[in-house]
Structure 1
Amino acid sequence: MAETQKSGFEYTEDSIRSLDWREHIRLRPGMYIGKLGDGTSADDGIYVLLKEVIDNCIDEHTMGYGKQVEISIKDRVVTIRDYGRGIPLGKLVDVVSKINTGAKYDSKAFQKSVGLNGVGTKAVNALSTYFKVTAFRDGKEKTAEFEKGQLIKEYKETASKEPNGTLVNFTPDDTVFRNFHFQEEYIENQLWNYCYLNAGLALHFNGKKFISKNGLLDLLQRKTNEDELRYPIVHLKGNDIEVAITHNNDYGEEIFSFVNGQFTTQGGTHQQAFREAFVKVVRDFYKKDYEASDIRASITAAVSVRVVEPVFESQTKTKLGSQYVEEGGQSMKAFILEFLAKELDNYLHKNPSTADALKKRIEQSERERKELAGIKKLANERAKKANLHNKKLRDCRFHYNEEPSGKDKESVALKQRESTIFITEGDSASGSITKARSVETQAVFSLRGKPLNCYGLTKKVVYENEEFNLLQHALNLEDGIEGLRYNNVVIATDADVDGMHIRLLLMTFFLQFFPDLVKNGHVYILETPLFRVRNKQETIYCYDESEKAAAVKKLGNKPEITRFKGLGEISPDEFSRFIGEDMRKQPVLVMPETHIQQLLEYYMGKNTPVRQDFIIDNLRVELDLVEDGEAAAGAA
């Protein structure tokens, strides 16, 4: 009998090892903070680190200790100071470095807290090159310093004149978060959400003050434009629940949901319960069996609940899994339905003008849906046939809207969060990206020339225009953002006039018909190098004139300079460098105060004198750009 072939790996007692908490977090960071990222996405890990520390400050405020938190970020160093009770000095090191250690296991102390797993600050500690914590408590203070989770110095207790509280300094590890940078807009949105859920709490960030007096009412006022609302914001509060609701003229639905002060970006049981309860209450009030999609079309709402020991579907706490408000208590569905059935029904009876405006908005959505029904059926049949042989779409393996499966669900979920679709122009660019992409997480959709300017058109055009219809199907957006197949929608066009125009046309399409796709931070612009500067020893890719000038200065002796006119000129081997770990992509951000319809009218409407004046005032000639580049290189 032939001898069984042995692998080079011997499976013995020596093969078994236990990782300590620090090693495990550093080996599997995605299990604790989701995707790593470089800061260009709102859900990148560096913002989760920030959140984990601030959550502790918020929990102290919720318990009645500390009315302000100070946050600063300078040169990648994060400093957070709260004025709560301060970590007990004798347990300072344990709280930030021993897994399953904390006060939140005592439900009397932190009954409706977010951080119940004892992991938060430990993950921050383990994933930081430097982590320092100081506790001030009853006239004494104590400090401990760490590097990548390893204690390097524990100071003795000393007398202190500082008010009670905790001070944390940390620098995220750039070997884990490669080329990271903090995007202030994302942080400010995080901070506003804390304020809306904790009326009266003052947050100070890099010289700015954030405070809210009216909770979720303030949130919706900031997220909407008053002149686009169909009726004034309905603001309702009860025990452990707060709701704000309105409708506008945008397509889609936008619902912000929170649990115990935690922004659940992926929703969960409370958000679904709100969606269903709102539909039922509206149907009962008007005594009409409206379609659920017509009732929720164009809704902007926020719902916040407080529950005992919430259960989340992942460590990052972005989706609630709790079915009950508290153990052995009311179900989430019954709790929210009971609240809305009483409070919203009362409000609509007391405010007939709001009730009438809501009815008109629902009936308008109903008419639009029926008008679309015929063409929608034809377009979907056409798209179904095209999908069988869709040359426009080169798909990937993992998709954002699928339930993670298999043995390693965390790894699968991570790849689903990384799922990306590149929207490109022309066959040559599509070819380069297709050959260079990761087939597991990166898909490519190829445009045929310039898409239609859809500003001012109705959603009918999405179905009538074959390219828009195929793009909608590729993204799986027809029934709303919940079915989105790719977490990152990246517009990849040439950096020339035509490429910029295509970007504008695509952004107009998304903002006009799928604004929540942009508002939720899914749309990006791919940055690709304009120049390649090289000599025999080194090649440097440059993204603007100043980088080119600096590269020429560095390499010296007249290096070879190549100007890339289009994405198709970049070889697949080169392209793989620009869409991998070091990919540069700029998020398309819509700030809450932005008036989308005015924005679209200004840039994509008829050629107004105001826009002409703007173009003339901001014209730049090539000489200006070269001089700017040389000046920047000289400064460098």
Structure 2
Amino acid sequence: MAPNYDEATIRTLEWQEHIRKRPGMYIGKLGDGSSADDGIYVLLKEVLDNSVDEFMMGHGKKVKIDIEEDKVAIRDYGRGIPLGKLVDAASKMNTGAKYDSKVFKKSVGLNGVGIKAVNALSSKFTVRSVREGEAKEVIFSQGIIEDEKDIKGLDEPNGTLVAFEPDEAIFSKFHYISDYVVNMVKNYTYLNAGLVIEYNGERFYSRNGLRDLLEDNIDENPIYPIIHLRGEDIEIAITHGNRYGENYYSFVNGQHTTQGGTHLQAFREVYVKTIRDFFKKDFDPSDIRASIVAAVSIKVEEPVFESQTKTKLGSKDIGPNGPSVRAHVGNYLQKELDNYLHKNPDTAEVLHKRIVESERERKAISGIKKLAKQRAKKVSLHNKKLRDCRIHFNSKDPKAEESSIFITEGDSASGSITKSRNVNTQAVFSLRGKPLNTFGLTKKVVYENEEFNLLQAALNIEESLEDLRYNQIIIATDADVDGMHIRLLLITFFLQFFPDLIRKGHVFILQTPLFRVRNKQKTYYCYSEEERREAVKKLKGKAEITRFKGLGEISPDEFKNFIGKDIRLDPVMMRKTDSVKQMLEFYMGKNTPDRQDFIIDNLYVEKDEVA
């Protein structure tokens, strides 16, 4: 019998209940901290946005961030939230100062939602505002007030302190990765020259804005000095390296739009047109943009983003009465870049030479490319390498973000993953053995090597990353010497030809358990010696211990425990200190004394231990 549908079945959720029940609506995916866009970083960003807005309005030049394990504290030195509205600002939806565009004309925060989402999704949330020697402090748990106090006669600068602990009931087994936080902090300083952010005692500051961003992120010497253009509500920095791919950093109102949007699309189109007009030649767009490294930042009134977490700009216009985003970016870029190239003929000459080199290489591999495509078309009908999934990253499916591909080696490992995977969101690509070492080779090898050509086709990254089919590319190899070598060979391939996959945080290493510890009642899967000892202790020493030597030894029934909701992934990351060229030479080049010392120092001989 169907349940009754009457007045009693209709209920209105409290604001914090709604956020906790549907967190994805407010912060995107939850995650465990292994991806830069996981929910715990969105919580941090929402609080930071408010502090940066204060700086943008001319109040407070410093922000302090302290993160210790799962506890986050952010203190700014702005005006401080008005004391009488502190509770409302932290716990009433659609309450904030950002609706008054005179005060916050081009703000980055979530317009009255952000800090409430942080509050509701935290097991403990404290907000404290100091104004002219008086303060108010309110403590919440899961969005519900636990304590409230007024403080008088304070000798403390104005500003707001927000401290929170993400709720483990929602963010299970999460951890903050410091490199992701540092990248976020640096972006705030590049976009707000003069702002000082202290993160766990380290000071970050930028004097030259986007020029500093490119200098800090390009891992080789640019082939010409960085072109830095600054206008009203727009800033652009451009240079070229010698690596494959296009590398962009785009921002709207201080928000890092990792998926671009209308402003980046306008930049890419108008940049090509401006270069063609300047040289009076109809160069191919791919040759003009080959190896470009650029940053674009614009300010927009009341921006429209394509998601709650604001990673892609959807606005067509820069304000209610302003021009279109395309016209705003296009008119400025066309005029200023053309002027710059006329005034700097040396830069123009180097740029022209780079375009011609790219054109020459593209034409040289066009023949082999055509053959490879024909071969791939034939093979794809019977491609035993790829076990595809139903939902892809470049689709409009609500679960597109979850789309992933496991790159495995050998039939037994790929068989276990294939049988235990989620067929909707998890694909498997099986390698035949050790892939080719591509260090020092040209892109021609991607088409000549059948395996790499099929991998490129599976990922759909030949032209650009815009149509990437999987959000997470997961290298799943045994944790032995051969497995480690395969990881290095695959990372070398991506670094050599598709570095943006790593720069944009799409490549991961799958962690799989080293031990199974169990008795008749309980089973523990352990990823380290420490976890193994802990499990033995929990089972009071009466345990059967199995050491997994390889992925093929783990049955499909067990494997599903390691690639489902509790999947553990290590992101493959690049920092400024990680020069692609130096990394590749060190790990994949000829033996040198430094390399030999590294191998000897890091050599690990496994010893069997008895529980």
Question: Structure 1 residue 221 and structure 2 residue 210: aligned?
Answer: no
Q: Is this contact kept in 2: 1:77–1:171, CA < 8 A? A: yes
1:558 deviates by: 5.0
Aligned to 1:409: none
Question: Structure 1 residue 299 and structure 2 residue 292: aligned?
Answer: yes
Listed as ranges, the matches of 1:135-214 within 5 Å are: 135-156=129-150, 158-214=152-208
Listed as ranges, the matches of 1:555-566 within 5 Å are: 555-566=539-550
- Distance between the aligned counterparts of 2:54 and 2:440, measured in 1? 49
- Distance between the aligned counterparts of 1:131 and 1:328, measured in 2? 40
SS in 1 for 2:365: helix
Q: Is this contact kept in 2: 1:145–1:154, CA < 8 A? A: yes
Q: Which amino acid in 1 is paired with 2:102?
A: K
Question: Structure 1 residue 369 and structure 2 residue 362: aligned?
Answer: yes
Deviations 1:529-575 (A, max 9, x none): 11112222222212223322333344344522211111111011111
Q: Is this contact kept in 1: 2:187–2:213, CA < 8 A? A: yes
Q: Is this contact kept in 1: 2:220–2:241, CA < 8 A? A: no
Aligned to 2:426: 442
> Residues 496 and 226 from structure 1, CA distance in 2 versus in 1: closer, same or farther, beyond 3 angstroms?
closer
1:11 deviates by: 1.9
1:388 deviates by: 2.4
Question: Structure 1 residue 473 and structure 2 residue 457: aligned?
Answer: yes
- Distance between the aligned counterparts of 1:598 and 1:75, measured in 2? 32
Listed as ranges, the matches of 1:174-573 within 5 Å are: 174-227=168-221, 229-404=222-397, 412=398, 415-573=399-557
Aligned to 2:53: 59
1:248 deviates by: 0.6
SS in 2 for 1:399: coil
> Residues 147 and 500 from structure 1, CA distance in 2 versus in 1: closer, same or farther, beyond 3 angstroms?
same
Moved more, 427-436 or 78-87: 427-436
Deviations 1:377-416 (A, max 9, x none): 1211222222223221111121111124xxxxxxx1xx21
- Distance between the aligned counterparts of 1:30 and 1:335, measured in 2? 33
Deviations 1:110-143 (A, max 9, x none): 0011225311001000100010101111221111
Aligned to 2:28: 34
Q: Which amino acid in 2 is paired with 1:391?
A: K
Aligned to 1:95: 89
Deviations 1:608-630 (A, max 9, x none): 3331232223333335x96xx99
- Distance between the aligned counterparts of 2:382 and 2:108, measured in 1? 47
- Distance between the aligned counterparts of 1:617 and 1:136, measured in 2? 52
Question: What TM-score do you get using the length of structure 1 for normalisation?
Answer: 0.94
Give the one of 563, 572, 582 matched to 1:579. Answer: 563
- Distance between the aligned counterparts of 2:128 and 2:533, measured in 1? 45
Deviations 1:127-178 (A, max 9, x none): 0001010111122111111110112222235332211110001000111111
- Distance between the aligned counterparts of 1:77 and 1:225, measured in 2? 33
SS in 1 for 2:351: helix
1:375 deviates by: 1.3
Aligned to 1:408: none
Aligned to 2:63: 69
1:9 deviates by: 2.3
Q: Is this contact kept in 2: 1:222–1:593, CA < 8 A? A: no
1:226 deviates by: 4.5
- Distance between the aligned counterparts of 2:393 and 2:119, measured in 1? 29
Aligned to 1:634: none
SS in 2 for 1:577: coil
- Distance between the aligned counterparts of 2:576 and 2:217, measured in 1? 4
Deviations 1:340-385 (A, max 9, x none): 1221111111111110111111111111111121111121122222
- Distance between the aligned counterparts of 1:169 and 1:506, measured in 2? 41
Q: Which amino acid in 2 is paired with 1:128?
A: S
SS in 1 for 2:565: coil
Q: Is this contact kept in 2: 1:533–1:548, CA < 8 A? A: yes
Deviations 1:190-216 (A, max 9, x none): 000000000110000111111011100
Aligned to 1:610: 594
Q: Which amino acid in 2 is paired with 1:552?
A: V
- Distance between the aligned counterparts of 1:592 and 1:401, measured in 2? 29
- Distance between the aligned counterparts of 1:420 and 1:519, measured in 2? 17
Deviations 1:585-615 (A, max 9, x none): 1010111232101110111112233312322
> Residues 226 and 469 from structure 1, CA distance in 2 versus in 1: closer, same or farther, beyond 3 angstroms?
closer
Q: What is the root-mean-square deviation in Å for CA atoms of aligned residues?
A: 1.5
Alignment: residue pair count: 611
Q: Is this contact kept in 1: 2:220–2:579, CA < 8 A? A: no
Moved more, 559-568 or 256-265: 559-568
List runs of 5+ in structure 2 lacking aligned partners. none
SS in 1 for 2:576: coil
Q: Give % identity.
A: 66
SS in 2 for 1:443: strand
- Distance between the aligned counterparts of 1:498 and 1:275, measured in 2? 42
List runs of 5+ in structure 1 lacking aligned partners. 1-6, 405-411, 631-636
SS in 1 for 2:13: coil
Question: What TM-score do you get using the length of structure 2 for normalisation?
Answer: 0.98
SS in 1 for 2:376: helix
Question: Structure 1 residue 22 and structure 2 residue 16: aligned?
Answer: yes
Listed as ranges, the matches of 1:38-53 within 5 Å are: 38-53=32-47
> Residues 286 and 607 from structure 1, CA distance in 2 versus in 1: closer, same or farther, beyond 3 angstroms?
same
Q: Which amino acid in 1 is paired with 2:485?
A: H
Q: Which amino acid in 1 is paired with 2:73?
A: T
SS in 2 for 1:511: helix
Q: Is this contact kept in 2: 1:224–1:593, CA < 8 A? A: no
> Residues 426 and 109 from structure 1, CA distance in 2 versus in 1: closer, same or farther, beyond 3 angstroms?
same
- Distance between the aligned counterparts of 2:549 and 2:148, measured in 1? 57
- Distance between the aligned counterparts of 2:241 and 2:154, measured in 1? 54
- Distance between the aligned counterparts of 1:533 and 1:378, measured in 2? 52
Q: Which amino acid in 2 is paired with 1:562?
A: T
- Distance between the aligned counterparts of 2:555 and 2:220, measured in 1? 49
SS in 2 for 1:507: helix
Q: Is this contact kept in 2: 1:114–1:310, CA < 8 A? A: no
Moved more, 603-612 or 494-503: 603-612
Deviations 1:481-534 (A, max 9, x none): 111111111000011111111101100000000001001111000010111122
- Distance between the aligned counterparts of 2:43 and 2:219, measured in 1? 32
1:90 deviates by: 0.7
